[in-house]
Copies of this chain bind each other. A is one copy, B any other.
C-alpha cells in the first residue's frame, strides 16, 4: 500500500523538481566513472604490486581561491578534478595518494608514519565480525553458557589508545545473541572480549571473565510486524508544485537553488553530508551574497562511562574511526524524509576501490511545520492590521547509521537568511548485560540506567562537532564576543539601579575564541570590511546548542584524543589541511593532531578567513523509553543574520500561497 503511494510520488516528483546533470560544480563528489578511472590509474602504478586496500576515497577539493573564482565567473571552465585516497599496502603502510583524474597520474604518494590509522574497510570489519565465530575459545565460552553458536553475532569495535607505546591496528569484538530477535544489541553476551589484529586478521587475545544472564528476547524487537495499537491515523503527503520563476526546488547535479538560496550538497566518505558555497540573494541589493563556504560534521565523539575491563575502551570517534559516508542510508521515503522530498544518489568506495552507487543518500525538501516566519497585530492606529506569513524552509538531509546509532544531519535554510543546523540521534542504545531483574536488587554503580530486565543502558555522551567555514559576505571575517554585562547606574536622575549593556570584543587570536557556553554572550561572525547602510558590520549570529562539554578528566586517554570537546566553540584561521577535529587519523590516535593542537599555535583570527567549530553535545542518561529503540533526540544550532541585511528580508519575499484540490478524495 505505502509502496504504491511512493511509486506514485516518484512519478510526481518529475513535475516538482527540476533535475539537470549537465552543469559540473568543482565540489561535486567523485562520480562512479571517476572512481573507476581512479582505480585504473592506481592499478597501473607501482602501488598495484602490493596488496592494496582503499580506506577512504574522496574528492580532493580544488583550492578555495579557485572555487571562489569559478563561482564569480560567468562562463566558468571546469576546474581540474582530483581524488585523494587513503590506502594501505600489505597491511603495513598507510599511503596518502593524490590522483589527477584528467592527467591520469598519481600526483603524490606520501607514506604516513605518524600515530593513528585510517578507518577500517567494510571488508575488514566484516571479516573481523566473523573471525571470532571460528575461534574454538569462543565456541567453548558459548557452549559453557548453553547458547547456540549459530545465533551468535560479533561486532568489532575500535579500541582507542590508552598509553601504549606501540599501537597496532586492532579491534575488539563483542558478541551478541541473535536468537528470537533481530535487535542483537539488546542481547549482549557479557564477559567475553576478543582482541583482533586487523592487519593480520587474527585473534590475538581472548578473555572470558564472567557470565551474566542473557537479557531475554521478548520485547526487544522493533520491526513493525510486532506492533499493535488502538490508535490508527492518517497523514497526507504534502505535494509540491513548481510554479513560475524561482518556485519550488531546482536541482542541477549537486547544486540546489531554492527561493533566495543557492548551495551545493554532496556525500563525503568521511563527513557524510557536506554543504558548500551557500549564498543568499539579497533582494534589496539585488545581489547574491556569500554566507557559508563549507559546513559539515568534523567529528563525533561518543565516550561511554563504564570504566570496567569490557567497556573502558568504548569512546568512539565515529567520523574518524568509521566515517559517515560508508554507513550512509538509502533514505526511506515517508519515514526518513517526507513525501515531497527530492533525492540525490551517492557513490561509496569499497576496499578494492570499487565504486558502489547508493540511491537516495541525500534528500531535499520544503518543510512547512505550521510555524510563522513573522507576524504582528497592530491596533493603535484605529484600524486592525493583522499580518504575517507562514514559514516554509528548505531542508537538506542525510542519515548515517554508525552501529547502534542513527544520526540525522539536517541543514535547514530559511528565507530570513537563517541556517538551522540540526542533528537528531535515534537508533538502539549500547546495552550491557547485568544479573539483576529488578532495581531493588542493585547496590552497585552500574555505570548506566537499568532499562529492562538484565539490561543496562550505559551512560554516555554524544559530541557532534561541526566545521563551519563561514564567509560572511566575503572571505575576511572576525568573531565578535558581544558580552552582556551588568552595569550599575551612575546618573542620580534615574531610579533604575542596574541594566546590562554589551561589551563587544573581537577575538584576536585562537585562544580568545575557545568558548565554554554559559555566561551571557552573543557570538557574532562579522565581516569588518563590509558595512550595512547605517554603518554596522555585516554579520551572522551563532545561536549555539545548549551547554554540554566533556566531563572526562584532562589526563584521561579518550579526553587527550578528544581534547577539543573541552570547549564548545573554537575559531581557527582557514587552513586547507585542518579539517578533522580529532585529527586525520583518528583510529588509535594519541591527540597529537586535531583542533586542540592547531589552536595552540594561537594564530591571528581577526579580519581573516576563519573557520568556526561548534559542538552539539548530549549527556545521555538512558531511560526505559530508549528501549528497545530510542525516540529521536534533537539538537542543533542556528546561524542567523545579524546586520547582514539592511532590514528584515522576509518583507521582500512573496508569501507562499496555498493550493487546494477541489476534487481531493477523502478516502485513501
The answer, yes or no, to whether A559 is at the interface (CB within 8 Å) is: yes
A556 lies within 8 A of B5 (CB): no
Q: List 20 A-B contacts (CB under 8 A).
A: A178-B381, A229-B653, A231-B247, A233-B247, A235-B238, A236-B659, A307-B498, A312-B495, A312-B496, A368-B369, A416-B631, A440-B535, A447-B501, A450-B535, A496-B557, A498-B553, A532-B624, A624-B645, A625-B647, A661-B663
Interface class of chain A by DSSP? loop
Indicate whether A427 sits within 8 Å of B557 (C-beta atoms), given known contacts A385-B223, A647-B624.
Answer: no
The answer, yes or no, to whether A240 is at the interface (CB within 8 Å) is: yes
Nearest-CB residue, chain B, relative to A518: B518
The answer, yes or no, to whether A78 is at the interface (CB within 8 Å) is: no
B668 lies within 8 A of A649 (CB): no
B153 lies within 8 A of A381 (CB): yes
Nearest-CB residue, chain B, relative to A390: B335
Extra 13 A-B pairs, beta carbons < 8 Å, given A230-B246, A372-B632: A1-B657, A129-B380, A184-B381, A226-B651, A227-B651, A241-B667, A369-B370, A375-B427, A438-B535, A450-B534, A486-B553, A522-B621, A630-B648
**In the bound complex, what is the Cα–Cα distance between A153 and B650 (angstroms)?**
27
For A235, give its contact among B240, B546, B634 (CB under 8 Å). Answer: B240
A220 to chain B minimum Cβ distance, whole angstroms, is 9
Mask, A622-666, CB within 8 Å of B = 1, is: 011111111110100000111111111111111111111111111
A132 to chain B minimum Cβ distance, whole angstroms, is 13
A34 to chain B minimum Cβ distance, whole angstroms, is 27
Nearest-CB residue, chain B, relative to A176: B380
Query: Which B residues lie within 8 Å of A667 (CB)?
Result: 241
A367 lies within 8 A of B366 (CB): no
> Contacting chain B: which of A93-101, A105-113, A391-399?
A391-399
Query: Which B residues lie within 8 Å of A346 (CB)?
Result: none
Indicate whether A437 sits within 8 Å of B534 (C-beta atoms), given known contacts A231-B653, A233-B247, A623-B643.
Answer: yes
A205 to chain B minimum Cβ distance, whole angstroms, is 14
The answer, yes or no, to whether A84 is at the interface (CB within 8 Å) is: no
Nearest-CB residue, chain B, relative to A395: B370
A506-544 CB contacts (< 8 Å) to partner B: 518, 520, 522, 531-536, 541
The answer, yes or no, to whether A134 is at the interface (CB within 8 Å) is: no
Query: Which B residues lie within 8 Å of A498 (CB)?
Result: 307, 551-553, 556, 559
> Contacting chain B: which of A23-31, A47-55, A336-344, A562-570?
A336-344
